[in-house]
Structure 1
Amino acid sequence: MARLHPSMVAMCIAGVVLGSLSFLQCSAQPVAFDQNYLVTGGTDNNVKKLDGGKTVQLVLNQDSASGFASKSKYLFGHISMSIKLVPDDSAGTVTAFYMSSESPNHDELDFEFLGNSSGEPYILQTNVFASGIGNREQRIYLWFDPTADFHSYSVIWNPQQIIFKVDDVPIRVFKNNQASGLPYPSTQPMRIFSSLWNGDSWATRGGLQKLNWTHAPFIATYQGFSVDACQWSDSGSLESCATSNSGWWNNAAFQTLDSDSQSKLKWVQQNYMIYDYCTDTKRFTTTPTDCTLRS
């Protein structure tokens, strides 16, 4: 588990007071890429390390896609990445930042950035797989140009809920409804992955708009490889990672959204959400149970 050094206090997002104890919601200090990640796809020309590994570029060209993964697995915690997406005509490209258990009946938490023609907005798709069951897509437009500068994309994952955030604004919450018989990612450790690949069979306008290779190479740039999470070592990690003292993300303050976070989430849903599987009656003739519980 990544621990916080006193010098990191300045990096804290917000303070939360619980009873007589003070807990700080902080991200672990960004480290060089090689300390926690390894290249999983692409040639040397497709994964470029800059600034001593503090910045990494994934490159998609006709030779290869590209990607990387964390060396360690985690069960609950705070995972964050700062990304500057592929600029200009990115139609057909998919920039993925996700966690996965890599196992049969796997668990997975997804950010997928779906490229578009120059001047058209990016679409951010999120999804949750639990015990191999997915089909829980939500899509939003972002309220800024994600190609102009770095923005933070993060997940707070604990035994009660999963919060997807963009620049500390909640865009999605997935609750633990195991008491109602629904699976929840709570027992399988996950690695962190990112990749840049050709998804033009589906990513842009349902696959109608293809990737234009004359605009290659397509480049996504990464910084802030922050992990503040419970690192999996063996089967004993299952119990220890779920205890309240294993990390700030397991404290009561993060088991629900406070009023400010609820307002931000509602703002995103009302102004930027363009697809929610819960309202897709053509795809689901019966409303999924987790949607009923959410409402």
Structure 2
Amino acid sequence: MAFQLLVTLIVIIILIAPLPCNAGQWPPSPGYYPSTRFRSMSFYQGYRNLWGPAHQSVDNNGITIWLDRNSGWRVVQVVKPFRSGYFGASIKLQPGYTAGVITAFYLSNNEAHPGFHDEVDIEFLGTTFGKPYTLQTNVYVRGSGDGRIIGREMKFHLWFDPTQDFHHYAILWTPKDIIFFVDDVPIRRYPRKSATTFPLRPMWVYGSIWDASSWATEDGKYKADYRYQPFVGKFTNFKASGCTAYAPAWCRPVSASPYRSGRLTGQQNRAMQWVQSHYMVYDYCRDYKRDHSLTPECWR
């Protein structure tokens, strides 16, 4: 009898226990869907294998890249550099244990400026069993080779399981700002406040998967475990539209809103604020352990 009573109490506690405040909640509609405004391309229409073709499988529309103990970085690259534009891809991540492994979609000019490059990142930080992926957005400006890597990380959990299906992730980069999107919902806007805190040199678009065990999962607490190899990332529905580095000076930056200026609508801003209040788990500007003299955009 006592055992039955204990079981009943446990069931009641489970049933009435409050769910996390964001469990099952989806962002409000942004009201505008920029991914539908730009044409999709197959992999070979705009991209090329850069490193590791033996660990990549290409079909007409997309590419699967994988990491194992013997493969190192797997990287694909858009053919042309851009000086502004909208860049997106639909990505599906691997379930299970992926700690230490990063799947990324990003802009960079490291090949043109090694050790002193710019970079704009969407990175999926691998995780352990039962824990969600973390989506990290980041902006580097003229950094890495001087030993003072200044990251501008903003991290999110997602309102869906990114291993179950493809979802669209995108970066809008203009001379005024950088906006990150998940399924057309803006999740972060990084405005240009000065030339020293904003990337302005042409960049290429990349997709990659790599081992970052030293820091990727809970600050390096959990490492890549190659008993679970290969670690797989799937990319399709590529989009890259805007002003290439070779376009005339009058080329107008594309917009991800109904406004030609690129300014987000009130509805888009409300959706972004909702995501940040419910799903953002880290903001470098709110990290008081950091030296914000190196990130003046946080207080300007």
- What corresponds to 1:88 in structure 2? 96
Question: In structure 2, which of residues 273, 276, 279 is the aligned counterpart of residue 269 of structure 1?
Answer: 276
Rate the CA distance shift 1:63–1:25 in 2: closer, same or farther, 3 A: closer
SS in 1 for 2:136: strand
- What corresponds to 1:71 in structure 2? 79
Q: Does 1:183 align with 2:188?
A: no
Determine the C-alpha separation between the residues in 2 that align with 1:210 and 1:128.
24
CA contact (8 A) 1:159 1:250 kept: no
Larger radius of gyration: 2
Determine the C-alpha separation between the residues in 2 that align with 1:165 and 1:281.
27
Deviation of 1:251 after TM superposition, in Å, equals: 8.3
Determine the C-alpha separation between the residues in 1 that align with 2:298 and 2:292.
13
SS in 1 for 2:289: coil
Q: How does 1:66-215 map to 2 (within 5 A)?
A: 66-102=74-110, 103-104=112-113, 105-132=116-143, 134-178=150-194, 182-186=196-200, 188-215=201-228
CA contact (8 A) 2:86 2:254 kept: no
Aligned length: 261
What amino acid sits opposite 1:292 in the alignment?
W
Deviation of 1:84 after TM superposition, in Å, equals: 0.1
What amino acid sits opposite 2:296 in the alignment?
T
Determine the C-alpha separation between the residues in 2 that align with 1:118 and 1:254.
44
Rate the CA distance shift 1:268–1:153 in 2: closer, same or farther, 3 A: same
Determine the C-alpha separation between the residues in 2 that align with 1:184 and 1:219.
32
1:98-132 C-alpha deviation (Å, 9 max, x unpaired): 00122433221101100101221000111112233
- What corresponds to 1:32 in structure 2? 42
Determine the C-alpha separation between the residues in 1 that align with 2:277 and 2:32.
25
CA contact (8 A) 2:176 2:192 kept: yes
CA contact (8 A) 1:169 1:261 kept: yes
What amino acid sits opposite 2:104 in the alignment?
A
Gaps of 5+ in 1: 1-12, 16-23
- What corresponds to 2:296 in structure 1? 289
What amino acid sits opposite 2:118 in the alignment?
D
CA contact (8 A) 1:14 1:25 kept: no
Rate the CA distance shift 1:195–1:287 in 2: closer, same or farther, 3 A: closer
SS in 2 for 1:40: strand
Rate the CA distance shift 1:248–1:124 in 2: closer, same or farther, 3 A: closer
- What corresponds to 2:61 in structure 1? 54
Q: TM-score, normalised by structure 1?
A: 0.81
CA RMSD after TM alignment: 2.3
- How many percent identity over aligned positions? 35
Determine the C-alpha separation between the residues in 2 that align with 1:272 and 1:248.
25
Gaps of 5+ in 2: 1-30, 144-148
Determine the C-alpha separation between the residues in 2 that align with 1:230 and 1:26.
19
SS in 1 for 2:275: helix
